[in-house]
Structure 1
Amino acid sequence: MDNILTKLFRLTNYISDRFLQFIEDLVLREIARYTESLGVTPVAIPSVHGSTRSTSLQPSQIGGENHGIFEKRASNNSKELLVDTSSIVLYAISISEAVPSFFLKGIKSRMVKTLRGSSDDIGWLQHAPGMPLVQDGTSRFLELLSDIRNGKHSLPSSFVYLLIPGLFSNHGPLYFVATKRFFSKMGLACHIAKVQSEASVEQNALELKLYIEEIYWGSSRPVMLLGHSKGGIDAAAALSMYWSDLKDKVAGLALVQSPYGGSPIASDILREGQIADKETRRILELIICKTIKGDMRALEDLTYVKRKEFIMKHKLPLDIPLISFHSEASIAPGVLATMTQIADAELPWLPLRKLWIVESDSFLESRHQVPVMVPISAAMAVCALHLRLRYGEKSDGLVTCRDAEVPGSVVVRPKMKLDHAWMVYSSKKRSPSEHDACEMCEALLTLLVELGNTKREVD
């Protein structure tokens, strides 16, 4: 028992020491930033162990690789006494006495910005001046969904249906595949856009513009667009930037769970001027740019700052049928606790094929897919709970409901509990009464066709 308590004391002391070191380093970083333009300003900071750390902020050192202020303190791991939590408060007071007030103002500003997060940005489109109003199309959507469940399909074959995947879809081999297969079985021309999911919005807008023109000239039929998540933003950007070239080729756009106004998740991670902003960015650059060979702008373009700049610069055309669909993820304890009952994802399986065995295409296709269970729904539930507790906002786990409503669109607000990944990965029904993602996409596109027909009649 004594051995366990000794280890517990040692661990607690280590965690306390690391936390105090973290606070100290944050303060010293702020001092370095604020003294960059002030010349030499020596500052003495008392350390956790009672000694004094003197920071000689020479101009030649600031911004260099080897900052004297960032030198590591040798941690005293041999101590086995439990540190009193009041030492943290006393240490903060000692820092405030040693650091000039204008440094503390900078630290306070960063802390306030970190704590406020996206509170002032969520739903900004709904009160922005000059934005057209939305219409509620939920009831008609539910009627169409009920007809589809009863075997009544009314999607015309006079269009080509283009599905546009969202961020990181290149790493989800079956993203939209079930929906494409569902449409193809009904005899409809359906494609999944081949875009670099981790590319910037402007780059994908150009790629989609060229892709739509290729489809149109090859089929002589207008294109109906359905974009999920960032895919909806990419599609909207293509229409905003190249409408003069696409107005006769695109018949409508449905944005499904798209952060058209911005995403609090992306903004909270990448917001400049908050605590540890540069460190967080370096980690993301390592993951996105180095590991998966993507572009950081793909995530930056989803922040509120970038979305405001883009929307104010590139307006969506008002003479095209628009639908925006959003949902709310379940945050019930059962979903939060369940880490295996998730969206029916599938991953490719590449068996060693014997060259002397002749196998049919359907057999090969079935062998190359193996169902797996991954904790997507639980992760979405945790994120949705976080956004609900921090901002009081309903969301699908990644996108708040208010940010998904596109000005001038017909909004679909179903009361079903659907998380952000459900629309593209939920291909199996857990009960005969449940709708699946394929039927939901069909109902959205059917509603989009009706809006187009109504608009043409009015014109």
Structure 2
Amino acid sequence: MLLCSWESYGQEMVTFASQETRGSLAGCSILSSGSVSAVSESSNAAMDAPHMHDGTSRRSHGDSSENANAVIQSTQTSQNGISIFQGLIERARRTVRGSADDIGWLQRAPEMPPVDDGTERFMEVIDDIRHGLHKLPNSMVYLLVPGLFSNHGPLYFVSTKTYFSKMGLACHIAKIHSEASVEKNAREIKEYIEEIYWGSKKRVLLLGHSKGGVDAAAALSMYWADLKDKVAGLALAQSPYGGSPIASDILREGQLGDYVNARKLMEILICKGDMQALEDLTYEKRKEFLMKNHLPRELPVVSCHTEASISPAALATLSRVAHAELPMVTPLSAGPPAKLSVVVPLGAAMAACAQLLQVRYGEKSDGLVTCRDAEVPGSVVVRPKRKLDHAWMVYSALNDDPSEADASQMCEALLTLVMEVGQKKNTRASHETGMSSNSFLHFIIVV
């Protein structure tokens, strides 16, 4: 009985223990599940954490890009500001300096040959002419090449041509469009020379005034191979061979053309011409042209420049005038533009321009061309002491001084000097050829 009770008690204890164990296991299972769930949630939270960091990273990257763009824009703005500031400084420098660095560049260029002073001989020739001694031969033809705006001056070179004709000399005025470009006129002058030579079988002696001298020199430098047997020499009177500060300042940004509408005025005066004609006389274009086209060394060349008076009397005088024909504004259907004949006080205008160049650049000039820019490298230079402005060949003087040479006589003197320079060059060339021949013969005899 007791044994049975003990067995029953033991079985109950086992049963209880089993139930407790299962409960414990179940509790453990529950705890384990909870722990796993907690771990899973922690893991999920940990897995979700990078997504939050990635969002932060994207925002940080966006902020960095915006900052970089802001820095770039700021840099560009600063650079633009610096460029504008530098542009203003450069414009101010150009406005202040103008053509100061360009005037006389021919004398500073090491590749340009030196000049010879022929003023003394020129004055002797002038004196001979005034005493009736004329040396120009009729075995040549004399071609006068007018300058810029000559199409508006009907009397340009007319008195000089008449003067030459009275001496029995064949003289022509080149019928070119003086407001055309230098290269275009050079081609026309070349054809003009060939036509004269083929018709007369005489060589041509040229005299160019102002831009006409530049055009004539361009023709001889560009087409010398075709013209060397047809041309005897060239004289340039008051020609802006190196360039003109007036032309440069009118066309250069920040200069006269910006303030007084000078460019528009030039377009009106040039009329059917080409603004390239004025641009070709700027220092930039002259440097570019002369570096490519040189006058032949064997060509006799004389260049002449003068100085205009800037006295109060010259500024106020109306005694020296020019007859000009300026274009009138007409309807398009009215045909060719009509011309208005006017009398222009060029003497006073040239005196004012000369004074401007003297004050601004400290340069002596004839009113349009500085003395230094008119000296052609390798030429015989004439520097008269007499005060003559740039328009001395154009205007008619109401009170010419009979004791002084007029424009026609000075043209004759310049061409006479060219002829003498040519004779000296020929003599020197013959002498050098003879010396070379003698040296060669001596070498043969010795051998």
TM (normalized to structure 1)?
Answer: 0.70
Q: How does 1:54-93 map to 2 (within 5 A)?
A: none
- Among the aligned pairs, what percent are the same residue? 67
* Alignment of 1:131 onto 2:109: no
| Contact kept? 2:366, 2:389, Cα under 8 Å | yes
Q: By how many angstroms is 1:454 displaced?
A: 1.4
The CA distance in 2 between the partners of 1:387 and 1:439, in whole Å, is: 29
The CA distance in 2 between the partners of 1:327 and 1:282, in whole Å, is: 26
The 3-state SS of whatever aligns with 1:424 is: coil
The CA distance in 2 between the partners of 1:311 and 1:437, in whole Å, is: 29
Opposite residue 327 of structure 1, the aligned amino acid is T
The 3-state SS of whatever aligns with 1:422 is: coil
1:244-280 residue CA offsets vs partner (Å, 9 max, x unmatched): 0000001000000000000000001111466975995
The 3-state SS of whatever aligns with 1:254 is: strand
1:208-266 residue CA offsets vs partner (Å, 9 max, x unmatched): 00000000000000000000000000000000100000000010000000000000000
2:414 match: 444
Bigger proportion of residues as helix:
2
2:306 match: 327
280-289 or 444-453, which moves further after superposition? 280-289
* Alignment of 1:141 onto 2:119: no
Deviation beyond 3 Å, 4+ runs, structure 1: 38-41, 99-102, 272-282, 345-348, 426-429
The 3-state SS of whatever aligns with 2:235 is: strand
Q: By how many angstroms is 1:287 displaced?
A: 2.1
| Contact kept? 2:204, 2:233, Cα under 8 Å | yes
**Structure 1: 5+ residue stretches without partners:** 1-37, 44-98, 349-370
The CA distance in 2 between the partners of 1:432 and 1:189, in whole Å, is: 26
- Cα RMSD between the aligned structures? 2.7
The 3-state SS of whatever aligns with 2:360 is: helix
Q: Which of 182, 204, 207 in structure 1 is aligned with 2:185? A: 204
Change (3 A) 1:283 1:159: same
Larger radius of gyration: 2
The 3-state SS of whatever aligns with 2:320 is: coil
Opposite residue 313 of structure 1, the aligned amino acid is K
The CA distance in 1 between the partners of 2:82 and 2:250, in whole Å, is: 28
Q: By how many angstroms is 1:307 displaced?
A: 0.1
Change (3 A) 1:427 1:448: farther
1:25-68 residue CA offsets vs partner (Å, 9 max, x unmatched): xxxxxxxxxxxxx9999x9xxxxxxxxxxxxxxxxxxxxxxxxx
Opposite residue 142 of structure 1, the aligned amino acid is M
Change (3 A) 1:156 1:311: same
* Alignment of 1:336 onto 2:315: yes
* Alignment of 1:189 onto 2:170: yes
Change (3 A) 1:286 1:397: closer
User: Number of paired residues?
Assistant: 342
* Alignment of 1:229 onto 2:199: no
* Alignment of 1:308 onto 2:280: no
Change (3 A) 1:341 1:372: farther
TM (normalized to structure 2)?
Answer: 0.72
The CA distance in 1 between the partners of 2:165 and 2:422, in whole Å, is: 22
2:226 match: 245
Q: By how many angstroms is 1:373 displaced?
A: 5.2
1:406 match: 376
The CA distance in 2 between the partners of 1:314 and 1:458, in whole Å, is: 25
The CA distance in 2 between the partners of 1:143 and 1:120, in whole Å, is: 36
Change (3 A) 1:221 1:148: same
**Structure 2: 5+ residue stretches without partners:** 1-71, 326-340, 430-447
448-457 or 130-139, which moves further after superposition? 448-457
| Contact kept? 1:288, 1:296, Cα under 8 Å | no
The CA distance in 2 between the partners of 1:148 and 1:274, in whole Å, is: 44
1:269-310 residue CA offsets vs partner (Å, 9 max, x unmatched): 111466975995862574256xx1110100000000000000
Q: By how many angstroms is 1:176 displaced?
A: 0.2
1:89 match: none
The CA distance in 2 between the partners of 1:422 and 1:380, in whole Å, is: 10
Change (3 A) 1:347 1:240: closer
| Contact kept? 1:178, 1:427, Cα under 8 Å | no
Opposite residue 314 of structure 2, the aligned amino acid is V
Change (3 A) 1:428 1:443: farther
The CA distance in 2 between the partners of 1:169 and 1:453, in whole Å, is: 32
The CA distance in 1 between the partners of 2:200 and 2:97, in whole Å, is: 51
The CA distance in 2 between the partners of 1:404 and 1:152, in whole Å, is: 28
Q: By how many angstroms is 1:198 displaced?
A: 0.5
Q: By how many angstroms is 1:100 displaced?
A: 4.0
The 3-state SS of whatever aligns with 1:151 is: coil
The 3-state SS of whatever aligns with 2:207 is: strand
| Contact kept? 2:152, 2:324, Cα under 8 Å | no
